[in-house]
Amino acid sequence: MNYACLIKWGHLGWRFLRYKFSPWLILAIAPLRLLLLSGSQRTHEHIRYMRLLWKIDFVGVYRLVNDLLW
């Protein structure tokens, strides 16, 4: 493999990780931003936070937690 190929695959891997972890990062950051922002920016962040809740597969999370506990 040459250097350009490694960069290409590294970039694709980073995009995949960012796509998978993006909802969880927003879940961690959005409540803090809601405390600090005001006005229309706060409304925008609240909508972003609510949109996030639609993206997360809570059934999958519940299934994982259930497997870990039992």
Q: Tell me: the pLDDT tens digits for 28-66?
A: 888 888 888 888 999 988 888 888 878 777 777 778 788
Distance between CA 43 and CA 57 in Å, rounded?
24
Residue 19 has pLDDT above 60, yes or no: yes
User: What is the predicted pLDDT for the residue at 3?
Assistant: 57
Residue 5 has pLDDT above 70, yes or no: no
Instruction: Tokens for 41, please give them.
Output: 């920016």
Domain extents for the chain? 21-69
User: What is the predicted pLDDT for the residue at 6?
Assistant: 53
Residue 1 has pLDDT above 60, yes or no: no
User: What is the predicted pLDDT for the residue at 26?
Assistant: 76
> CB atoms < 10 A from the CB of 26, how many?
19
Q: Shortest CA distance to 24 belongs to which of 48, 54, 56, 46? A: 56
